[in-house]
Structure 1
Amino acid sequence: MTKDEAYEKRRQECLALARENKKLKKMLAEVDAGTYTVPEKASNLKARNKEHQEMLHWKKEAERFKNNWQQQVKITENFKIAARDAQLDKEDIEKERDEYKAKCEELQSRLDAILGSDSSDNKDLLDQINALKEELQKEKAKNDTDGTNSGLPTSKTPIGKNKVIQNLREKSELKRGGQPGHEKHSLAPIPDNKINDDRYHILTECPSCGSRNLEYVDCIDKDEIDFEIKIINRRHHFYVYKCLDCGKIVHSSIPLHLKEQTQYGSNIKAMILALLDLGYISINRAKRLIDGFLGNGISISEGFICKQQRRASLGLKSFVEAVRLEIIKSHVVHWDDTVIFVNTKRGCMRFYGNNKLALFKAHETKARDGLDEDAVLGALGPDTVVVHDHVLVNYNDDFYFENAECNQHLERDLKSLNDICHHSWASQLNELIASTIHERNQIIASGGDSFPRSKYRDVIHQVDKIMTVATSEHEESTGHFYESDERRLMNRINDYKKNYFLWVKDFDVPPTNNLAERGLRGQKTKLKVSGQYQSVESAGYFADIRTYLETCLRNGVNEVTALQRLTSGNPFTLNELLGGA
């Protein structure tokens, strides 16, 4: 035994003696106080205490059961009282019912007597009753108006009424997400030559037992695709030289976007325009987002953000003009306009375009002057087809293009009328339009480009037959509140049926004007955020940028890429986008 071991053993013995001594002192103190008992006495006391606790427990249980019984007695008594009251109420209600029944029979007999007579007073009463019924039906029709039978946007759905969002997809019983048996789609592994960041995850001890005796066996690779934004403080060096022949001091050309001593780069400007004109967010929120993306390394002022719209618009004047000239040469042109607010007043944002081109124009009003200022419709020739939403100004004599009406609006008007008056001609015409569009889509999907020659004539003939039924149904139900609306719709179809069904004859003409409406949809999102434009000039800045971005997108160019080219002073040209067209 070593000296340390002997010392430790002796220390443990001393501690044991100290504990024993403490225990004896405690027993001695209990003897002095008279509280110490022998084990037999302690056992008896323990049994007595246990029995006392059980007695207390059963007393509490007995008291609880007694309280429950008393409570149940009260509930039973209350139920009996309630039953007696209910019986009395039933007798009162039956008595009151009999009284009302007798009054109704009396009123019915009086009403039958009134209706059976031919006096002028009774005729006035009947007229009032019919007028009230008509007014009630009219108000019900207004209440039933939604996005399926009118142009009412879902955002204007009255409070308390469910929003109706059109969805042509048929609902199935399948759950959302991937279905059993479907192929799973996942990201492909990254090629080794494209890996530019490696992270090594090494173990130093076993996570199961804590051992450090580990042997390398294999490596599991997991690829991750991510990006980071970092601030680049770039300094451009333009060397200055002296020409030894002419003596002039010269330097290399400085780009226009580097005119200041220090300025923000093109990527920051592109990010600003993307947030404002693609994300439609407010200026102060754009500032917070950019500061956050850049790790608060810089703080861009809101004034600088505001300036980017005007600067971008100035750099796009030639592009916007090129788009206008190209639209004039198009065979099919869509156009539509929507209301915007400019400094608390109603303004107008107008769209012209097709599948490859998009031109936006902002104006203070929807007046004809704006159309002339845009210089699009007036420059179109007779070979051009303009698709619109029954805008009567298009039929002016000083326009030479051919008009095509949007069938989507016609279908909504027909459904609205059918919901009110349930006339068969409205549903028949709707079915004809839907089935013909479906047949046309099938032909296009199979590679065809036209109906048989007789199809257009057959469709017009069916429309004429349906309108004959419409005239008959309309004459049989005159005097109703919807009479004038139905007559106007019938006149419109009869007067413009060739324009409504031009898409049957020419497959280049779409049956709807949805392309223009989709083009203006972002404008509504913009107004939901900003509310209004400060001036028509600022609305024009937005229109020019949207012209550039929408045209780039329709030609397969990502909008952010387009903005980076724009802010670097080299925007895409229309010839580039159209492949040199």
Structure 2
Amino acid sequence: MPDAYDYISLMCRLKAAQTRNKELESGEHYIKLKELHQKECRTYERKIQALLTEIADAHKETIRVRNYWFQVLENMLLEFEAIQKKAEQKLRKMEKRALLAERQRDDALEKAKEFRLKFYETATQLEEEQGKNLKLHAQINRDYENSSIPSSKTIRQKKIANSRKKTGRKPGGQPGHKGHGRKKQEPTQPVILLTPPGEVLDDHAFKKTARTIIKQMVSIRMVLDVKEYHADVYYNSQTGERVHAAFPDSVIDDVNYDGSIRAFLFLLNNDCCTSIDKSRKFLSDLTDGKLNISKGMISKLSREFALKTEPERREAYADMLLSPVMHTDCTNGRENGKSCQIYVCATPDGKALYFAREKKGHEGVKGTVTEDYQGILVHDHDITFYNYGADHQECLAHVLRYLKDSMDNEPDRTWNKEMRSLVQEMIHFRNECQPFQEPDPVKVSEFEKRYREILETARTEYGNVPANNYYRDGYNLFLRMEKYMQNHLLFLHDSRVPATNNEAERLLRNYKRKQAQAVTFRSFESIDYLCQCMSMLVLMRLEEPANIFDRVSRIFG
């Protein structure tokens, strides 16, 4: 079976090959193929032509599109270049702005640095000016209440303390209270009997009673008492000698003035603190111009009085050395435009001596009672005085004023208020004690304990907030009260010691009044004589009876 199939297949293929060979040999197939080829070629040529046409169109379209896109790209490039140009311009502007901003920033930083430096400088100046302001404010607020300035030197009016309570009663004498009338004087002229009124003389019904109403008119007048002495002169014809009767010792010049006139002018000028011109003018007015004393005579009265009273002052000097307690102080004086010092020493029994010195310190103390004194000295905080005497008590009146000054200028601190209250309480406690009665030691120990506690409070406050460089008075006061605690509290332990130095302060005011009237003295000797005279006047007022005018008149007489 397989062989028959293969044979048939071969025969079919052979027959097909013979047919194909015959066609090839006859050329018909070639012609057909050629025609078919040509036909296909023409078909392809048409296709190619169409494709070429299409390609040409496409090429044209490509060129058109390319040209269009070139135009678009060129426009875009131009637009891009324009945008880029604008961007570059903007960039240059931004660079300029950036450079300008950098310069401005640098300038701003420089200015900020300058402002910062100025701020620091201004802050420093502000702090300094605040300190100066505090210092000036403290100086402006200083018066007699918070410093050593006397009340007469302050602009503000002095406060008049009045602790009395209103009772609702009318002023003047109260019902049932015996009045105090004016003292009647001894009549110096015959009694003047007044004529009865006319109605009494006309009506006999009026009868005289045993009662007589007596009223006086008192006046004074200056009586010029002049004693004139005459002495006849005798001539010896043989010897040529001339002789007359001896005049009294006080009658030397043609016109002499006795002690009363000298005392009058001396007390006016030195005790009443009137000028020489006013004193002589007053005396001239009293005598209707009859007495016109020269300025030279009045100016020499202090020297004359000082020289005549030197023994009394020496005796007072020796007595003051024996006193257990003595006050001392000094103040400034003016001598021909220069400064000098006036010292005063006073004892509790009233004795006092003034001393004029050209310098302060140990040179000023030399020659005063303080130099040789061995008791307890009461004085202000002058370190010089601590080198003299056996013990010392500082004036608490000054401490109270300084504490008030600290309260006014350091209101945030508490120690000054507490210390001022404690000092006032201690002084009040001491004043309530009986004379020569020693204070209660328990109470004194309690005061000392509170004193130390307040000092610790001050130490803490100044440690937390240091004192201002322009106002250190409060801090310095704290250090002083701590260092000299024993000298601030001595009056609590000794009943003889006062708490203040007011005795010496009051005495120095007498010189201050004279200094204010004289403004300045021409020589130091005149100040020295004035101090000697003031010392003697203080001692005279201790005598009984204290008639200063009579005593001064006797000294000059």
Letter in 2 for 1:187: R
Confirm or deny that 1:542 pairs with 2:530: yes
Aligned-residue offset at 1:258: 4.0
Shift in alpha-carbon separation, 1:224–1:291, aligned structure 2, 3 A: same
Confirm or deny that 1:361 pairs with 2:355: yes
**For the residues of structure 1 that align with 2:262 and 2:121, how far apart are their CA atoms?**
74
Alignment-derived partner of residue 567 in structure 1: 556
Contact 2:331/2:341 (CA < 8 Å) preserved in 1?
Answer: yes
Alignment-derived partner of residue 142 in structure 1: 139
Contact 2:436/2:495 (CA < 8 Å) preserved in 1?
Answer: no
Alignment-derived partner of residue 148 in structure 2: 151
Partner SS, residue 484 of structure 2: helix
Confirm or deny that 1:230 pairs with 2:223: yes
Confirm or deny that 1:370 pairs with 2:364: yes
Deviations 1:422-473 (A, max 9, x none): 22211111111111211222223xx562202334333222211110111111
* Structure (1 or 2) with the larger CA radius of gyration: 2
**For the residues of structure 2 that align with 1:225 and 1:500, how far apart are their CA atoms?**
53
Partner residue of 1:393 out of 369, 377, 384: 384
Aligned-residue offset at 1:352: 0.7
Deviations 1:307-360 (A, max 9, x none): 211111110111222222221121111111111111121111111111321101
Shift in alpha-carbon separation, 1:367–1:392, aligned structure 2, 3 A: closer
**For the residues of structure 2 that align with 1:135 and 1:261, how far apart are their CA atoms?**
67
Partner SS, residue 327 of structure 2: strand
**For the residues of structure 2 that align with 1:449 and 1:563, how far apart are their CA atoms?**
40
Alignment of 1:327-476 (within 5 A): 327-354=320-347, 355-374=349-368, 376-381=369-374, 384-396=375-387, 399-422=388-411, 423-444=413-434, 449-476=437-464
**For the residues of structure 2 that align with 1:351 and 1:479, how far apart are their CA atoms?**
35
Alignment of 1:172-321 (within 5 A): 178=172, 180-181=174-175, 183-189=178-184, 194-200=186-192, 202-203=194-195, 206=198, 218=208, 220-234=213-227, 254-255=248-249, 257-260=250-253, 262-321=255-314
Partner SS, residue 373 of structure 1: coil
Partner SS, residue 433 of structure 2: helix
Aligned-residue offset at 1:130: 4.8
Partner residue of 2:503 out of 515, 518, 538: 515
**For the residues of structure 2 that align with 1:480 and 1:225, how far apart are their CA atoms?**
65
Aligned-residue offset at 1:175: 10
Shift in alpha-carbon separation, 1:135–1:262, aligned structure 2, 3 A: closer
Aligned-residue offset at 1:121: 8.0
Unpaired stretches in structure 1, ≥5 consecutive residues: 1-118, 240-248, 569-581
TM-score normalized with structure 2 length: 0.68
Contact 2:397/2:501 (CA < 8 Å) preserved in 1?
Answer: yes
Unpaired stretches in structure 2, ≥5 consecutive residues: 1-115, 233-242
Contact 1:205/1:213 (CA < 8 Å) preserved in 2?
Answer: no
Shift in alpha-carbon separation, 1:300–1:134, aligned structure 2, 3 A: closer
Alignment-derived partner of residue 80 in structure 1: none
**For the residues of structure 2 that align with 1:237 and 1:507, how far apart are their CA atoms?**
65
Alignment of 1:74-93 (within 5 A): none
Contact 1:138/1:481 (CA < 8 Å) preserved in 2?
Answer: no
Partner residue of 2:540 out of 529, 549, 552: 552
Contact 1:411/1:430 (CA < 8 Å) preserved in 2?
Answer: yes
Alignment of 1:124-143 (within 5 A): 130-143=127-140
Deviations 1:213-263 (A, max 9, x none): 687965642134443331112357999xxxxxxxxx9999955x4444541
Contact 1:408/1:512 (CA < 8 Å) preserved in 2?
Answer: yes
Residue identity (%): 22
TM-score normalized with structure 1 length: 0.66
Partner SS, residue 341 of structure 2: strand
Shift in alpha-carbon separation, 1:466–1:288, aligned structure 2, 3 A: same
Alignment-derived partner of residue 89 in structure 1: none
Letter in 2 for 1:437: I
Letter in 1 for 2:332: V
Contact 2:173/2:179 (CA < 8 Å) preserved in 1?
Answer: no
Deviates more, 1:405-414 or 1:354-363: 354-363
Contact 2:134/2:471 (CA < 8 Å) preserved in 1?
Answer: no
Shift in alpha-carbon separation, 1:120–1:232, aligned structure 2, 3 A: closer
Give the length in aligned residue pairs: 424
Contact 1:134/1:480 (CA < 8 Å) preserved in 2?
Answer: yes
Shift in alpha-carbon separation, 1:168–1:379, aligned structure 2, 3 A: same
Aligned-residue offset at 1:503: 0.9
Letter in 1 for 2:371: G
Letter in 2 for 1:390: H
Shift in alpha-carbon separation, 1:309–1:129, aligned structure 2, 3 A: closer
Aligned-residue offset at 1:171: 6.2
